[in-house]
Amino acid sequence: MFEMPETRPRVGRPNLSGSQSLAEYRQRIVMKKRFQSLVHGLLIALVAGVIALRPSVVVRPDQAFAAQPTDADSITTLLVQPASPARTEDRVFKSASVARDLHYLIYLPPGYDASPDQRYAVLYMLHGRGGSYAEWANYGLLDKATNLIETNVIQPFLIVLPQGDQEYWVDHANNGPRWGAYVARDLVAEVDSHFRTLASREKRAVGGVSMGGCGALQIAMNFSDVFGIVGAHSPALRTRDTAPDYFGDQAWFDTHSPVPLFKAHPDRARTLKLRIDMGAQDTWSPAAEAFHQQLVAEGVPHTWLSRSGGHSGDYWTSHVDEYLRFYSSAFLGAGPS
């Protein structure tokens, strides 16, 4: 049988044309590789320069195994995070309205220290009658704020946690200490003078839990030039006969308690972005439900939420996420939610 001769491919043999010599071909290959190395080095230097010009480079643990970027822009996006972490300051100042030195805790969000030209909305959160200025921090409010800001769920804003003792955040009758004015006048002025705030009612919110929820409603109505947003979380709404003595006579009570205040001034109430929530098993739920029905009858826009839960830290801790979302949305100009 006739067999064709075996044919092997010619490996590594360049295809030379014309008068080009093997030496010339090799020289061209060397020059090409040198050029590619030079371009590669310049690209690396360019990316390094872009990153160096950014304020800071921080790789977060949750990004350590992120998908590999495909270009210089995505490399920068992966590596560059807010240049300063969230932090808190425990401060003391003298309040003229109560003639005392009082503590407050202020939360500065991620990026605050690295953005000297940026100003921020401010949320004032009031504690309950059995708590202190650390109460909301103990419910995880500040840690949750950091998480939501870093994941771009809410905008960055300042959070102020003041000390209010057991005084219902109200100006006391008979020339007593003015705990409402302490928050709305003294504390707001203190914060605005020391931190980069957006000093308008549309960018200030007051919220609170239990006694603080009642106080927030009252302060928002009596100082509506200061606060445009209010959140009442399980508000402890008292009647005249169950209110502390410092609520004074009926006339003083009617101008310093939420239920009669909102009834007397529905037009003012309609200027507020208002949210109320209550645990269905909370002993204060009937009073809050009645207040909600009053607002409906008066045509006051608001969000009312009644869910399973009691008057407890477990209930408030489980809802700090949605509280922060409400305030962030309200700062951006959205209606109650």
The whole-number pLDDT of residue 26 equals 55
Whether residues 216 and 91 share a domain: the answer is yes
Q: Domain range spanning residue 293?
A: 87-331
Whether residues 62 and 209 fall in one domain:
no
Concatenating the DSSP letter of every residue in 246-271 gives GG-SHHHHHTTSHHHHHHH-HHHHTT
Last residue of a domain, one of 60, 79, 98: 79
- Give 10-residue mean pLDDT values along the chain (337 residues): 40 44 54 58 49 38 34 38 85 98 98 97 98 98 98 98 98 98 98 98 98 98 98 98 97 98 98 98 98 98 98 98 98 71
Q: Report the relative pairing of strands 229-233 and 303-307 from DSSP bridges.
A: unpaired
The secondary structure of 212-232 as a DSSP string is HHHHHHHHHHHTTTT-SEEEE
Q: Coil, strand, or helix at residue 228?
A: coil
Do 62 and 93 lie in a common domain? no
Torsion sign, CA atoms 94, 97, 100, 102: negative
Same domain, 244 and 118: yes
* Cβ density class 206-224: b for 16+ within 10 Å, e for less: bbbbbbbbbbbbbbbbbbb
- pTM value? 0.77
pLDDT at 38: 59
Same domain, 174 and 237: yes
Give the per-residue pLDDT at 24. Answer: 57
Asked if 86 and 159 count as a contact pair (C-beta separation under 8 A), the reply is no
